[in-house]
Structure 1
Amino acid sequence: MRIYDQGSVHWQPTVALNWLEDETFFSVCSRHHVIWGSPDAMTTFRGLFQSEGNSLPHDFPHSLDALRHPMRAVLGDPDVIISRRTIFPFFRPFQSQEHIQAALNIMKGLQLGSIKYKLGLVTGRFGAEHPLKACHACIDADINNHGTSYWHLCHQYPGVSICPIHKQMLQESIHNRQWSGRFRWTLPDKGDLTSWDFAGFNSITQHALLQLSNSVLDLAALGNVRSFDPFIVSSVYRNTLQEMDFLNSISQKAAPSLAKYAALLQPYHSLTSLPHTAQKARTYIEHLVRNPRGHSHPLKHLVMINWLFGQVRDFIDAYDRAKAEKAEKAEKAEKAEKQSVQFGRVGQYLQFEGSAESTETLPQKLKPKVLKPHTRSEILRRLRKGTPKKLICSEFKLTISTVNKLLRSEALVKKAWTESTHNKTLLKNRSEWKSLIKKHPNSSAKLVRSENPKLYAWLYRNDKSWLLKETERLPTGRTGNNSKVDWALRDEALEALLITKLNEDPCSIRSSKVSNKDIYTLAPELSICLKSRNQYPRTRALLQKVKNCHQPSKLH
């Protein structure tokens, strides 16, 4: 059936397809392209939207406010489409409300703009590209049940590598990639999918990938109803590490454990950025347990959550408990503050025992009085030693104004009291800082500081030279962008991968001209690796050889 009218200059479609189960917005748009018989991508786009565009990103669509009325009547309004038919809900729980609203406005607007940068995907080390993914078994089932294949939303989330229905490895589409040329409306086709062999992973890795895939889907299901305070999240991580006896020995226990877990996930190409050494794992942990400065990629949190809790549900239980405890403490502090205002600015809370009639036990307000000579001498002696003013007020039944007046009249005593008080505070705060370092012996200065920011601030203002000497002895916590990267080994591995792919499918390069697209279709990870322009010389040489030979024999 062909609905597009070639003779109409201002053709507007009247047929709108309904949703299929778990279908993405890009998928239903692609089905319209097929059913309408549109001659090109631009015609379909302008049939869907009252806009001059010609392409639509499959992960974060835009122009939703410009959706034509017949489409909107069937598919729903922009908010419904975003929340139910895109991968955006997966990114919401760990994101700020400001960035969420900005992203929603961008998707409703006419240009996608910097949405991936705002969500932290460009710098998140998990990649900003989200290839279309499909399951072979789902394709067969959908064609049998609906007469067409389509893109399932549950397959498209980053980190989902296994179909939750058939437990098969998802395959990536070669279309609409950074290296695949112009945009096209497309539906799943086995011939357009890369080949990933799930059986090639050992059973432990298969289980870890399935566990992560399930956690991604659990988080996405919560995306429209939950959001997590980053400060409470970091405290949950710290408390859990403390319970596991990991917090005080991140380097000795926690880091090797996380690196071992991450190694199970790294065989999957989109997770290769996970820490593979204890040093990098330690940095990974410290970044998530310190007081946050920004928002991390959801996958970074999920790897941490799966490692610590095993599943998202247990993390949420711990988060809700921590949130309730924080609210309870805030409520108690508010009540205490109200009570202190009611009972005067004495600086102490009055505790009552018995009934409400015990108000006669309130202390009477003290008044300034003339001091006897021997009393005055004793008070001055105590002040020279740095005795706290409140203690003197309590022992000698004086008001604070009397003590302050006495100090003003004795300049030398005031100077001695100030110096003594400062020295006592200095020694006390130094001792507290050393205790923190003992508590976190292998942590960086940033992590130690995050445990008690006020203490660090006081020492920085009043004892800076001592503090800097102490912090210089601590690990920096930095690994550097290229720390301990064995580029030669990576080059050998990538070259071996390419040789394997070429030998498995030699027919794919038997053409008069071999393009980058042909090569990247065989091994999609090449496009990411070769962005490091000064690395992978052996792989680049092999690529050049393949392009020059056109029909190479078996490569070795």
Structure 2
Amino acid sequence: MERQHTNKHLMLPDAAFGFPLRWLQNETLYSLCSRYHRLSLALRHHQTSQILFGHRSGGHAHDLPSHLDNFVEATCGALGTALEVIEHHTMAPYFLPFRSPSSAADAMRAMRGPGIKSLKFQLGLLTSRFRANHPLKFCTECAIRDVEVGHPPYWRLVHQFPGVWLCRVHERVLDVSMLKSTGVGRFGWFLPDEAMLEGPYTNRIADESVLEHPDLRRFSLMCEALGTTPLEVHFSPVHLVSTLRLRLAERGFLTSSGGLHAQSACASFAEFSQSFSKVVGLEALVVDEKSAYSQLQLIRSIQRARTHPLRHLSLICWLYTDWAEFLTSYRSSPPAQAKSAQATTARESTISETVAHPQRSLCIALMAGSGYSASRAAAQVGVATGTAMAWAAQAGIAPARRPKKLDVVLRSSLHDALRQGISKAEAASRFSVSVQTITTTLRTEPGLHLAWTQAWRAREQCKRREDWIQGMEAHPTASRKELRHLHKADFAWLYRNDRDWLTKLMDARPRLPGSNNASLSWERRDRDLCDRVRAACTALQGGARSARAGRKLALWEIYQQVPELKPQLRHLDRLPNTKAALADSVGTIPSAKDQLPLF
């Protein structure tokens, strides 16, 4: 059972008088709870969590908090319902518009419940190459203004969305707090003035020069606009792909047949993306012309349309002037049919069109009932002779023939060869006819096309299996990925047409031992990490904190400045220079199991 912690100084919510605080303009839930923590004089951060969220670590996440039903109950509903809190005071509206309604419902259910668990993974944040531990951001001018009007500085929601680097009110680049996102004070409640007092524990998200870059400014504003999207709004992947493709066509990046002008489109998008290197956290959006093609597949693939919002926004910012223009285009573009649905009915479409063809039944009746020849019936209903013969073959009618290239004996031999599954090209070469003649024969001889298809598939299956097995024997030490690259065509055919056999064969193959990362340059990693550690230690001991020069630092102070250090603590034996730098500044180096400071 969770132990209850009480303090006589704590200002508890009261059902009769309501919650003692009210929302400030555009305030996050985390900010309000931090103000409550300070006002209540709580000695421990977990006490505030226990009071407001019913658990000692509840609601501590500043981006996607949990236990929101408990929060509404603790505040007697004075600050709104759980859904209202999610929509107006958390970062959830930024991530949910590009997800399906069911995924969004699951996310909100997790935030209202006892924990978000794997929510960030389900939203694609952990695999997106963008950080999932979102930093707390603030504008110094906003914080000063807050003090002037009589309340403590607070965290504004519009500043927290990924991709936002600009305070629109003061035209100022945002500062980034090193608290919480680095793991230090993970369960704590802090306000911007505490981050400002830490001095070197804050960083600028970008250089002031980005203020002169119009594309980056538009991108920041689009990120803000996405975060204000109502919870009931969801962009259909099918409609989204259709809208972006229409915009590509308007910009001249699509061919008349709907294909992508890859060279011009990739060059334009790659040039546009270079500006993202100026903002911390957006470096993954920078692409060259080669990788730009992969990024542009988002506009061609419905499945890839479900990705991190930053990737959607980079494409939207490239194609549109602002968010309002994109919304107008999305709402006015015609609805599109899902490509997957079209693929599902692709094989049936030809047959359906044939069955529904108004002349088909008449043509078959003339040939079967009235004894018309194919050419006469075709002329009667107004179609080509080949079409009439194909319709007859589908109905099981063998049309009368007047041999020109294939006499009776040669035709019989051709039929036998096709029933054995030889390819069209091989049959054309063997019988000295064109491939078109072979195709016509298959279409107009009842039952022949089906027999040939089954036999050809069986032959192809045997050949592909044999080639794949020979490839495995020729490269016994190759990994699965290497085998796929060595025999791409065989793998592709087997994966599409004989997957069960391929899976069983590969599962039965002994797995190779995992890589020992021999290609990793530990020397280069040690050199780079050592330089960063020494620079961080110098900043912490000197400069504005010159009074601290020479004193030993705590390890957590260093990896707060150098987050990449913490995962490498267990590998210090392979990083001698880094280890020496830490020993000079910390003294005794704790083990890798050392925990973050408790609050």
TM-score, normalised to structure 1, is 0.68
**How far does residue 254 in structure 1 lie from its aligned partner after superposition?**
2.8
**How far does residue 274 in structure 1 lie from its aligned partner after superposition?**
2.1
Q: Match for residue 514 of structure 1?
A: 553
In structure 2, the CA distance between the partners of 1:52 and 1:233, relative to structure 1 (3 Å rule), is same
Q: Match for residue 279 of structure 2?
A: 268
Q: Identity, % of aligned pairs? A: 23
Aligned counterparts of 2:370 and 2:574: Cα–Cα separation in 1 = 91
**How far does residue 486 in structure 1 lie from its aligned partner after superposition?**
11
In structure 2, the CA distance between the partners of 1:380 and 1:70, relative to structure 1 (3 Å rule), is closer
Q: Equivalent of 2:221, from 196, 214, 217?
A: 214
Q: Match for residue 114 of structure 2?
A: 110
Asked if 2 retains the 8 angstrom alpha-carbon contact of 1:234 and 1:291, the reply is yes
Instruction: Say which SS state the counterpart of residue 32 (structure 1) adopts.
Output: helix
Asked if 1 retains the 8 angstrom alpha-carbon contact of 2:530 and 2:581, the reply is no
Q: Match for residue 191 of structure 1?
A: 197
Q: Match for residue 13 of structure 1?
A: 13
Aligned Cα root-mean-square deviation (Å): 5.0
Cα deviation 1:481-519 (Å, max 9, x = unaligned): x9x999999988877766666666643563633234323
Asked if 2 retains the 8 angstrom alpha-carbon contact of 1:514 and 1:547, the reply is no
Asked if 2 retains the 8 angstrom alpha-carbon contact of 1:389 and 1:403, the reply is no
Alignment map for 1:299-448 (pairs within 5 Å): 299-324=310-335, 347-348=356-357, 366=365, 376=373, 390-392=387-389, 404-406=396-398, 415=415
Q: Match for residue 166 of structure 1?
A: 170
Alignment map for 1:477-556 (pairs within 5 Å): 506-507=541-542, 510=549, 512-521=551-560, 523=561, 526-528=562-564, 531=567, 541=577, 544-545=580-581, 547-549=583-585
**How far does residue 163 in structure 1 lie from its aligned partner after superposition?**
1.1
Alignment map for 1:19-34 (pairs within 5 Å): 19-34=23-38
Aligned counterparts of 1:299 and 1:317: Cα–Cα separation in 2 = 20
Cα deviation 1:323-363 (Å, max 9, x = unaligned): 44659xx9xxxxxxxxx99xx9952269xxxxxxxxxxx98
Cα deviation 1:66-89 (Å, max 9, x = unaligned): 225351421111011001110100
Aligned counterparts of 2:573 and 2:290: Cα–Cα separation in 1 = 28
In structure 2, the CA distance between the partners of 1:493 and 1:245, relative to structure 1 (3 Å rule), is farther
How many pairs were matched up?
467
Instruction: Say which SS state the counterpart of residue 75 (structure 1) adopts.
Output: coil
In structure 2, the CA distance between the partners of 1:539 and 1:127, relative to structure 1 (3 Å rule), is farther
Unpaired runs of at least 5, structure 1: 331-339, 351-361, 394-398, 429-458, 473-481, 552-556
Unpaired runs of at least 5, structure 2: 342-350, 402-407, 426-433, 437-455, 465-486, 493-516, 588-599
Aligned counterparts of 1:162 and 1:319: Cα–Cα separation in 2 = 26
Q: Equivalent of 2:63, from 41, 48, 59?
A: 59
Aligned counterparts of 1:496 and 1:205: Cα–Cα separation in 2 = 32
In structure 2, the CA distance between the partners of 1:55 and 1:203, relative to structure 1 (3 Å rule), is closer
**How far does residue 376 in structure 1 lie from its aligned partner after superposition?**
4.9
Cα deviation 1:276-306 (Å, max 9, x = unaligned): 4322222222245323256200011111111
Q: Match for residue 239 of structure 2?
A: 232
Cα deviation 1:459-496 (Å, max 9, x = unaligned): 99999999976999xxxxxxxxx9x9999999888777
Instruction: Say which SS state the counterpart of residue 278 (structure 2) adopts.
Output: coil
Instruction: Say which SS state the counterpart of residue 328 (structure 2) adopts.
Output: helix
In structure 2, the CA distance between the partners of 1:258 and 1:364, relative to structure 1 (3 Å rule), is closer
**How far does residue 122 in structure 1 lie from its aligned partner after superposition?**
0.4
In structure 2, the CA distance between the partners of 1:346 and 1:99, relative to structure 1 (3 Å rule), is closer
Aligned counterparts of 2:532 and 2:42: Cα–Cα separation in 1 = 39
Asked if 1 retains the 8 angstrom alpha-carbon contact of 2:23 and 2:79, the reply is yes
Asked if 1 retains the 8 angstrom alpha-carbon contact of 2:526 and 2:577, the reply is no
Aligned counterparts of 1:505 and 1:52: Cα–Cα separation in 2 = 32
Aligned counterparts of 1:404 and 1:85: Cα–Cα separation in 2 = 69
Instruction: Say which SS state the counterpart of residue 512 (structure 1) adopts.
Output: coil
TM-score, normalised to structure 2, is 0.64
Aligned counterparts of 2:151 and 2:386: Cα–Cα separation in 1 = 86
Cα deviation 1:77-114 (Å, max 9, x = unaligned): 10110011101001111112222111111101012211
Whether 1:73 aligns to 2:83 is no
The AA in structure 2 aligned to 1:87 is M
The AA in structure 2 aligned to 1:269 is V
The 10-residue stretch of structure 1 (129-138 or 67-76) with the greater mean CA deviation from structure 2: 67-76
